[in-house]
Amino acid sequence: MGRESIMERGAAQQAFEAELAQVDQLLHAAVADLFPPFSQLVAAQAGGSLRRAAIVLAAGMAEEESPRLCEQRVALAAALEMLHRALAVHMRVGSTSKPTAPNLTLLGSTILAGDYCFSRAAGLAVRTGEAAVVEIFADALKRVSEGHLRQRFDGALEPYDEDSELFRAGATAAMRLTRAAEETQQAILELVAGLAARLSGQLLLPSHALTPAQLGRWQVLLQWWSAHPAAETA
């Protein structure tokens, strides 16, 4: 790899990590007003490696970048992570076996904390200023909620694959921001499906369908993905 290519890769990595840091700041700010026991309930779901955010930050790269587009994809990335936390908090509701007084108190706190996170996730999605993005976001919440309910009440052996749904929704919404061409959308959705299936080490980047900036961002993402294994609490 030439010196110029190394410098370009370094710049791409710095930009990606800077955006991830902005996402993390938005997430902290979104729950800063919470107090115990709600803050502990949300903090317990803050594990993992911002993989949903990373998907958005890669899929949301455009051929022509702008400060506004960067703001939009960072807000969307934070919204998707907050949605995941809201869902994770609400999933704790079904873990109480008997309706004792202490458990009822915890149940109420859990529902309120989850609802708070849902409202903050919606607010972050609205920051994109794109009605279609908010619609994709809301539809993803509906499908994921239904998927978890089916898994719980049908007694399926395999847990519901929330990541697959959220990865796809995040990428779809991000590409709506960039007005990506059909070929680019298809290529990125295939990449996202591979990441959801934990095939990151086997993925080949479709250079024919991505611009140099997009290709650079996805190269950085795959490297980051391998270095940050999933550690979800939900």
The domains found in the chain, sorted by start residue, are 3-227 (1.10.600.10)
At 144, list the tokens. Answer: 């994921």
- Distance (Å, rounded) from C-alpha 94 to C-alpha 128? 33
Nearest to 194 by CA among 232, 228, 167, 157: 167
One pLDDT digit (tens) per residue for the chain, 234 residues: 555 566 677 899 999 999 999 999 999 888 777 656 656 665 655 555 799 999 999 999 998 899 999 999 999 999 999 998 888 876 665 544 444 444 545 555 667 777 888 888 999 999 999 999 999 989 998 998 888 778 777 765 577 788 899 999 999 999 999 999 999 999 999 999 999 998 888 899 999 999 999 999 999 999 999 998 775 433
- Distance (Å, rounded) from C-alpha 63 to C-alpha 66? 10
Judged by DSSP in three states, 155 sits in coil
- Distance (Å, rounded) from C-alpha 117 to C-alpha 100? 26
Query: pLDDT value at position 107?
Result: 57
How far apart, in Å, are the Cα atoms of 87 and each of 3, 105, 142, 213?
45, 19, 11, 33
DSSP 157: S
At 162, list the tokens. Answer: 């929330």
- Distance (Å, rounded) from C-alpha 57 to C-alpha 186? 17
